[in-house]
Amino acid sequence: MRSGRTVSAIGLLSLCLVVCMSLETIPPSAFDGYPDELCTINITIRNSRLILSWELKNKSGPSANYTLWYTVMSKDENLTKVKNCSDTTKSSCDVTDKWLEGMESYVAIVIVRRGDLTVCRCSDYMVPANAPLEPPEFEIVGFTDHINVTMEFPPVTSKIIRERMRSTPFVIKEQIGDSVRKKHEPKVNNVTGNFTFVLRDLLPKTNYCVSLYFDDDPAIKSPLKCIVLQPGQESGLSEFAKVGGITSCLIVMVFVSTIIILKRIGYICLKDNLPNVLNFRHFLTWIFPERSPSEAIDRLEIIPTNKKKRLWNYDYEDGSDSDEEVPTASVTGYTMHGLTGKPLQQTSDTSASPEDPLHEEDSGAEESDEAGAGAGAEPQLPTEAGAGPSEDPSGPYERRKSVLEDSFPREDNSSMDEPGDNIIFNVNLNSVFLRVLHDEDASETLSLAEDTILLDEGPHRTESDLRIAGGDRTQPPLPSLPSQDLWTEDGSSEKSDTSDSDADVGDGYIMR
Amino acid sequence: MTPKYLWLVALVALYILPIQSLNCVYLDDTILENVKLLGRTMTGFPLRCLKDITDFKFPKEILPYIQHMKKEINAVSYRISTLALTIFNLKGSIPPVTEEHWERIRSGLFDQVRQAHECFMDEEKENREHPHSEDFLTVYLELGKYFFRIKKFLINKKYSFCAWKIVTVEIRRCFIIFSKSRKLLKMTSGKIGKGNIYKPGKRHRSQQVYTIKPPLVDPRVTVPVAAGFGR
């Protein structure tokens, strides 16, 4: 009997030892031999974990190892060791999975060992439901007009922590410098993971500071994080930039449309009526006046004289047959230029004979056509061959020009075939008859040769008849011109022997 | 009273009710201040006192009632404050701390009782036509039993240092639990005290109506140990 009871007692003790060893619970009397050390043990909720931390009042001495024991005051006096916080050099311990009753009073005992010796013990009591909440870690990113506050909430596994977070408001404090601008209370009860809160309606170039905390007593506030918002700090096109771009476009459109409307109604950009002297549109034409087109101007019909007219040196034999004669200066100061031309198309038959004298005359003429052709400034003297009533009055200019070409053939016969070419030549007005074609009916003819003769005698004779030979002999007399206007040489008048022969008009011509 | 002072009296009477209702606003803060005071005054817990720890069996079942007891929460607050002050007014004991700290604790508890009383009186005026519910009676009785056990423990341990240490820790825990319950109630209902809608609870079979008269406690008067406690 006794042996059976003994065996059962031993078995129970062994079982208790096994249980005690597995739970690692010891009576508090096991630490009676160690002195009490003043310390402070705090409990906080950090990153959704229940963290126990301690601090010895006497911090001096070498580093120590700590072992955490605890008990619940309403249950059992035996102490339970926290395995994760046994012989640790850290002065904190995570008891989230150990302390599960928030409304109980826990007694925590920290056993301090230095080396192999147990130096002291430290104990305190606490209620987990009263543990303060620490704010989470956060980052801020500033933009032009808002700040993104990003924080992380780890998953909550403890009922105590869940109840604490549910009953404690979370505050994001926004301040400018030292003054609190605004307090935000976002709901973070069921938030897990990253959480971003945006602080809006902020001013650029302003220093903003952000702080987080749980509104509890006591409240543990996070350190301030400050940032200065810079204009254009954001990456990409912000809403503000978009609105600014659209607004500027609208303003430009309104401005342009206003200008267009004002211009249409004539309120602005009126046509300026500048005086002609300030009108520089025709500035170039003012400097370089254009040659006025040929219009109704007085044209002189050059009527070459008879080929029988002689040189002023009265050398009949030589002057009419010689093809080349060197022009010599006369006493009077002018030179004779031979006038050559091809027969007219209209009067090709009739002008054949008069043409010959023209050729003969050209053979004895001085070459000055080239010089005359080069003098482009000289007015073109139209010729008229066979001009008379039978002619077409609508095209007197063209016919004159062609007649001129025909009557005064050039030395370069290749240019004869070009009807549009102007023939520029020097004309010995003494040898030709000139007629100003104002009107076919009222025409005045003048004879330069006669005037030249008359110059010696006196300039009182004003009327002469100059006609081109070889043409129409029925031409009316040309209007008379003053002899002074027609004389283009040095002005000296002289007599010529041809003037006598030109006195005989014959068939409308004054033959010299 | 001359007529010219009538306007002053009227002005005071006009604002006295809102001023009185402010006691309910500061009651929560007063309770938390006493929690901090007890923690600062009674720091640490000696390992040798672990052998005297016991379970006072705090009535956790009343917590759901308290969290839904909008109209009678001030009565419960007054009950708890009064019973706690009674514990610390027990004579014939060696205080675990210095006399100065002890007086500071008693003064804080007295402020709490005074504010709770004001809140309770305001609540009683509103509930004049509505008797207390059965839930309130249950809570009232359970709290009485709880503090009776605490007092009995203190007497049995002969007001030893460790006994006072353990009792202080326990009363502090009671205040924390009640403060959390008030906070939860405030969050769900939005307001405690005036203007709350009466929520009738379960009735007794006999349909009896219970009327509770709040006892007036004067901290200057030492309450005997065996005097009417727990009724």
For A219-274, write each residue's pLDDT tens digit.
999 999 999 988 865 555 566 778 888 999 999 999 999 999 999 988 887 766 66
Q: What b/e readout covers A167-181, taking b as 16+ CB neighbours within 10 angstroms? A: bbebbbbbbeeeeee
Nearest alpha carbon to residue B170 among B183, B157, B182: B157
Collapsed DSSP state (helix, strand, coil) of residue B54: coil
Residue B142 lies in a domain: yes
Helices then strands, counting H and E runs in chain A, come out as 11, 18
Asked whether the predicted pLDDT for residue A444 surpasses 50, the reply is: no
Length reported for chain B = 231
Residue A481 in tokens: 């011109």
Indicate which CATH number applies to the domain containing B141. Answer: 1.20.1250.10
Asked whether the predicted pLDDT for residue A377 surpasses 90, the reply is: no
Residue B7 lies in a domain: no
**Segment 113-152 of chain A within 8 Å of chain B by CB:** 121, 123-125, 127, 129-130
Minimum CA–CA partner of B50 in chain A: A77
Nearest 5°: phi and psi at A304? -65, 145
Helices (H), chain B: 3-41, 63-67, 73-88, 99-126, 134-156, 161-189
Out of A185-194, B122-131, B199-208, pick the least confident.
B199-208
Residue B12 lies in a domain: no
Out of A177-186, A195-204, A294-303, A416-425, pick the least confident.
A416-425
Give the amino acid at A99: W
Residue B149's pLDDT band (cuts 50, 70, 90): very high
pTM of the entire predicted model: 0.56
Residue A221 in tokens: 């506030």
Residue A51 in tokens: 């963290």
Q: Which residues does A411 contact at the CB level (< 8 Å), separation at least 6?
A: A340, A367, A369, A370
Interface membership of B216 toward A (CB under 8 Å): no
Instruction: Test A75 with B46 for CB contact under 8 angstroms.
Output: no
Instruction: Test B47 with A109 for CB contact under 8 angstroms.
Output: yes
Mean pLDDT across chain A:
68
Q: Residue A41 burial by CB count (10 A; 0-12/13-18/19+): exposed, middle or buried?
A: buried
Asked whether the predicted pLDDT for residue A501 surpasses 60, the reply is: no
Nearest alpha carbon to residue B198 among B152, B150, B131, B146: B131
Instruction: Test A71 with B50 for CB contact under 8 angstroms.
Output: yes
Residue B13 lies in a domain: no
Interface membership of B169 toward A (CB under 8 Å): yes
pLDDT in the model for residue A139: 95
Strands A138-142 and A92-94: unpaired
Instruction: Test A103 with B172 for CB contact under 8 angstroms.
Output: no
Collapsed DSSP state (helix, strand, coil) of residue A20: helix
Q: Which residues does A283 contact at the CB level (< 8 Å), separation at least 6?
A: none
Residue A384's pLDDT band (cuts 50, 70, 90): very low
Mean pLDDT across chain B:
77
Residue B10 lies in a domain: no
CB-facing half-sphere around the CA of B104: CA atoms within 13 A: 15
Instruction: Test B55 with A71 for CB contact under 8 angstroms.
Output: no
Residue B2 lies in a domain: no
pLDDT in the model for residue A234: 52
pLDDT in the model for residue A25: 82
Residue B82's pLDDT band (cuts 50, 70, 90): very high
Interface membership of B53 toward A (CB under 8 Å): yes
Instruction: Test A107 with B177 for CB contact under 8 angstroms.
Output: no
Question: Which has more pLDDT, B126 or A184?
Answer: A184
Q: Which residues of B touch A127 (CB under 8 A)?
A: 172-173, 176
CB-facing half-sphere around the CA of A446: CA atoms within 13 A: 24
Query: Is A361 in contact with A349 (CB distance < 8 Å)?
Result: no
Query: Is B43 in contact with A124 (CB distance < 8 Å)?
Result: yes
Question: Rounded to an integer, what distance in angstroms lies between the CA atom of residue A453 and that of residue A487?
Answer: 12
Give the amino acid at B76: V
Give the start-end residues of each E strand in A369-512: 432-436, 444-447
Give the start-end residues of each E strand in A59-146: 65-72, 79-81, 92-94, 106-114, 117-126, 138-142
pLDDT in the model for residue A295: 57
Residue B127's pLDDT band (cuts 50, 70, 90): confident
Interface membership of A31 toward B (CB under 8 Å): yes
Instruction: Test A32 with B53 for CB contact under 8 angstroms.
Output: no
Share of chain A above pLDDT 90, in %: 24
Give the amino acid at B24: C
CB atoms under 10 Å from CB of A48, counted, come to 21
Asked whether the predicted pLDDT for residue B99 surpasses 50, the reply is: yes
Question: Which has more pLDDT, A115 or A222?
Answer: A222
pLDDT in the model for residue A360: 44
pLDDT in the model for residue A404: 45
Question: Which has more pLDDT, A308 or B111?
Answer: B111
Residue A33's pLDDT band (cuts 50, 70, 90): confident
Asked whether the predicted pLDDT for residue A339 surpasses 80, the reply is: no
Minimum CA–CA partner of A111 in chain B: B47
pLDDT in the model for residue A195: 93
Give the start-end residues of each E strand in A269-352: 300-304
pLDDT in the model for residue B43: 84
H/E element holding A329? none
**Segment 403-462 of chain A within 8 Å of chain B by CB:** none
Residue A485's pLDDT band (cuts 50, 70, 90): very low
Q: Which residues does A258 contact at the CB level (< 8 Å), separation at least 6?
A: none
Question: Rounded to an integer, what distance in angstroms lies between the CA atom of residue B120 and that of residue B132?
Answer: 12
A with B: how many residue pairs have Cβ under 8 Å apart?
64
- Across A74-97, average pLDDT: 89
Q: Which residues of B touch A109 (CB under 8 A)?
A: 47
Q: Which residues of B touch A123 (CB under 8 A)?
A: 44-47
Instruction: Test B58 with A103 for CB contact under 8 angstroms.
Output: yes
Residue A115's pLDDT band (cuts 50, 70, 90): confident
- Across B139-160, average pLDDT: 93
Domains annotated for chain A, with CATH where assigned, are: 26-130 (2.60.40.10), 138-229 (2.60.40.10)
Instruction: Test B187 with A167 for CB contact under 8 angstroms.
Output: yes
Range of the domain at B136: 19-229
Give the one of B50, B55, B184 whose C-beta lies nearest to A74's C-beta: B55
Interface membership of A167 toward B (CB under 8 Å): yes
Residue B4 lies in a domain: no
Question: Rounded to an integer, what distance in angstroms lies between the CA atom of residue A91 and that of residue A66?
Answer: 7
Question: Rounded to an integer, what distance in angstroms lies between the CA atom of residue A117 and that of residue A369?
Answer: 143
pLDDT tens-digit readout, B22-36: 557 789 899 999 999
Alpha-carbon dihedral sign for residues A489, A491, A497, A501: positive
Residue A342's pLDDT band (cuts 50, 70, 90): very low
Out of A4-8, B28-32, B124-128, pick the least confident.
A4-8
pLDDT in the model for residue A144: 87
pLDDT in the model for residue A381: 43
Q: Which residues of B touch A79 (CB under 8 A)?
A: 50
Alpha-carbon dihedral sign for residues A396, A397, A401, A407: positive
Interface membership of B61 toward A (CB under 8 Å): no
pLDDT tens-digit readout, A271-305: 666 677 776 666 666 676 665 655 555 666 666 66
Q: Which residues of B touch A167 (CB under 8 A)?
A: 180, 183-184, 187
Structural domain count, chain B:
1
Please state the ipTM of this predicted complex. 0.76
Residue B42 lies in a domain: yes
Interface membership of B173 toward A (CB under 8 Å): yes
